[in-house]
Chains A and B, each alone.
Chain A
Amino acid sequence: QVQLQESGPGLVKPSQTLSLTCTVSGGSISSGSYYWSWIRQPAGKGLEWIGRIYTSGSTNSNPSLKSRVTISVDTSKNQFSLRLNSVTAADTAVYYCARVVVAATWFDPWGQGTLVTVSS
């Protein structure tokens, strides 16, 4: 059973870069059957898709964030990562990683989420 776990700093200063890693266990991130995605949720609000990466390194991002988002994959560590630069308080949220079946594109399963607060 595949499990995902987010990790990274819980506090980031404004204008700096948010960096998170998602570690996949119970399955290979190199499987050609899946995309690997990031989603976030500000406190008390809804869900926003950030972007996704395929095992080849091909990525797609939400146009609203595209210029600030970098998603990468490290198949040797079975991990994928998110970098979001020039953060502001509006980027404060719980960040989730999730698996997406290729040609299906619903999210299952999800990691437990990690809270990132942007504050000086």
Chain B
Amino acid sequence: ERVMTQSPATLSVSPGERATLSCRASQSVSNNLAWYQQKPGQAPRLLIYGASTRATGIPARFSGSGSGTEFTLTISSLQSEDFAVYYCQQYNNWPPYSFGQGTKLEIK
């Protein structure tokens, strides 16, 4: 099973600033990685797939990069609605599809 490790667990950033979230795979997952945003009481929402392709309707301030074992989600200028928990998920090797433990992005 591919183990996905996200860092940091919590990230404090001021509105308008850039946020950089990391996700590391225990073995290569190529570019088969997705990112999700989850707000309290809501289901996760797909942000990025294929490591760097934004899903439909996702603002351009969200960008993904990386391949192999190291991945990054960058939010270029944080808006109030961006404060949430973010998860990465690999779909290169299954079963199972595996998720990271999440990074909580909070207002500084």
Contacts and interface: CB of A to CB of B under 8 A. Distances in A.
Interface of A: 45-49, 60-64, 96, 104-113
A105 B91 contact: yes
A63 B95 contact: yes
B95 A61 contact: yes
Contact of A64 (B34, B55, B96): B96
B44 A107 contact: yes
Nearest to B6: A46
Interface of B: 1, 32, 34, 36, 42-46, 49, 55, 87, 89, 91, 94-102
Contacts of A47: 44, 87, 89, 99
Contacts of A62: 95-96
Nearest to A113: B43
Given A46-B87, A47-B87, A60-B94, A106 B46 contact: yes
B87 A60 contact: no
A105 B46 contact: no
A104 B49 contact: yes
Nearest to B97: A49
A60 B91 CA distance: 14
Given A104-B49, A106-B49, A107-B89, A96 B97 contact: no
A108 B36 CA distance: 10
Contacts of B42: 112
A104 B96 CA distance: 14
A113 B78 CA distance: 27
B101 A106 contact: no
Nearest to A66: B95
Nearest to B44: A110
Contacts of A46: 87, 99-102
5 contacts: A46-B99, A48-B99, A49-B96, A106-B49, A107-B46
Nearest to A47: B99
Given A49-B94, A49-B98, A63-B1, 10 more contacts: A46-B102, A47-B87, A48-B96, A61-B95, A104-B49, A104-B91, A106-B46, A107-B44, A108-B55, A113-B43
